Amino acid sequence: MLAFLGRSILLGVVTAIALLLAFPDLRTQMLAPTTVLPAQPDQTQLSFNYAVRRASPAVVNIYNRRYNANDRLQLSTQGLGSGVIMSDKGYIVTNYHVVAEADQVIVALQDGRILTAQLIGKDRRTDLAVLKIPADNLPVIPLNARYKPAVGDVVLAIGNPYNLGQTTTYGIISATGRAGMSFYGRQDFLQTDAAINDGNSGGALVNTRGELVGINTASFQQATDIETYGISFAIPYELTQTIMNKLIADGRVIRGYIGLEARDINPVMARLYDADQVSGIIVMGMDPNGPAAKAGFKVQDILVEIDGKRVTDRRNVLDIVTDLRPGTQVAMKVLRNGQPKTLSVLIGDEPEV
């Protein structure tokens, strides 16, 4: 028995020596101390640097200057804001309230150029204004007409808050189509929780590709004097582009006007007014000297169609009518006592607010 164990041990030792001689790397591994390798760090870093680098050169600082009340030859800076270069021809979009009272507007580009801007036009209803600067080689904000903002999209607000210099904040789109939050007009807003402070007005709200989403206009606190956090608003890019083009073409926004006061229709109202459909608006009143009154509209008429376009609600009517050129004769279909009737309306020019 002992002889068997001895032979087994001797055979094992000889085999081990043979393996070490044949494979010298095994000796290094046996003698090396055991080490625990640290976990590899995540090489993916979340950053919006690409978007900021694409968009920020096109965001400018705007200084509102006014003549001194005691010295009409002396200009002093009265306010500040931001703007966005929309075209290589020098057109800049900003907020109406940034430049509304300005006697002179100074634009400071991120490359150090400082220029006096010409006011092309301003629109109080949408809180938008267009400036033009005489300069070449201008950085233009990236635009993407196919992008549709959606709740949850990450966005960056770029501007000049409190004249600290260009600053970027980020958040998400909290809501779209926020109606009734306009401080001057009736348009819908994008709501975001990206911080927008004094001086950010007129700056760019961009997506993570650096493409323009909207023009920053105000925070909820600025509009209501209520202490809030994370509620800010921007004017959608699509509306911004439309208003900019109109201001460049005419110096002001020419809107169609019919002079109706109405309510959206619902199924209960439809039954009360003997209407088989729920699409339309019910006339509740009108401007006595307005185009609708002159065309023969009556209270309790249900407006269902304008120029061949189906009416869905008051917002839809406002959008259709404001795009019509004043002086245009347009057919409008109404239901009166349940019976269809067509009225010819001469579109008027919306009064200034």
CATH code for the domain of 316: 2.30.42.10
Work out the average pLDDT over 308-318. 85
Q: Do 197 and 87 fall into the same domain?
A: yes
Residues 85 and 223 in one domain: yes
Same domain, 147 and 271: no
153 plus 268 within the same structural domain: no
User: What is the spatial distance between Cα 75 and Cα 66, in angstroms, rounded to a whole number?
Assistant: 5
Q: Count Cα atoms within 13 angstroms, Cβ side, for 23.
A: 7
**Is 65 domain-assigned?**
yes
Q: Are residues 279 and 161 in the same domain?
A: no
Does residue 66 sit in the same domain as residue 199?
yes
- Mean pLDDT in residue range 13-23: 54
| Residue 77 binned pLDDT confidence (cut-offs 50, 70, 90) | confident
Q: Looking at 56, 82, 174, 201, which residue is catalytic?
A: 201
Which phi and psi (to 5°) does residue 12 adopt? -65, -40
- Assess whether 218 and 307 both reside in one domain: no
Domain-terminating residue out of 251, 286, 302: 251
Note if 201 is an active site residue. yes
Q: Indicate whether 211 and 136 sit together in one domain.
A: yes
Beta strands, E only, the chain = 59-68, 71-85, 91-94, 104-108, 114-123, 128-132, 154-159, 167-178, 189-192, 204-206, 212-219, 232-236, 256-257, 260-264, 281-286, 302-306, 309-310, 329-336, 339-346, 348-349
Q: Is residue 343 situated within a structural domain?
A: yes
State what percent of residues in the chain have pLDDT above 90. 45
Residue from 56, 82, 97, 123 carrying the catalytic annotation: 97
For the stretch 80-116, pLDDT in tens is 899 999 999 999 999 999 998 888 999 999 999 999 9
Asked about 276 being catalytic, the answer comes back as: no
Q: Cite the annotated binding site by residue number.
A: 258-263
Closest CA to 254 of 136, 349, 343: 349
Residue in 123, 127, 188, 301 annotated catalytic = 127
3-class DSSP string for 61-104: EEEEEEEECCEEEEEEEEEEEEEEECCCCCEEEECHHHHCCCCE
Q: DSSP H helical segments within 137-236, as ranges? A: 220-224
73-89 burial, b at 16+ Cβ within 10 Å, e below that, comes to eeeeeebbbbbbbbbee
Confidence bin at 142 (pLDDT 50/70/90): very high
Assess whether 222 and 300 both reside in one domain: no
Q: Binding site for substrate: residue ranges?
A: 258-263
Identify whether 193 is a catalytic site residue.
Answer: no
Specify the pLDDT at position 183. 46
| Residue ranges making up the domain that contains 335 | 256-349
The answer as to whether 290 is a domain residue is: yes
If asked whether residues 159 and 199 sit together in one domain, one would say: yes
Total structural domains within the chain = 2
**Residues 238 and 280 occupy one common structural domain:** no
275 touches 267 (CB < 8 A) = no
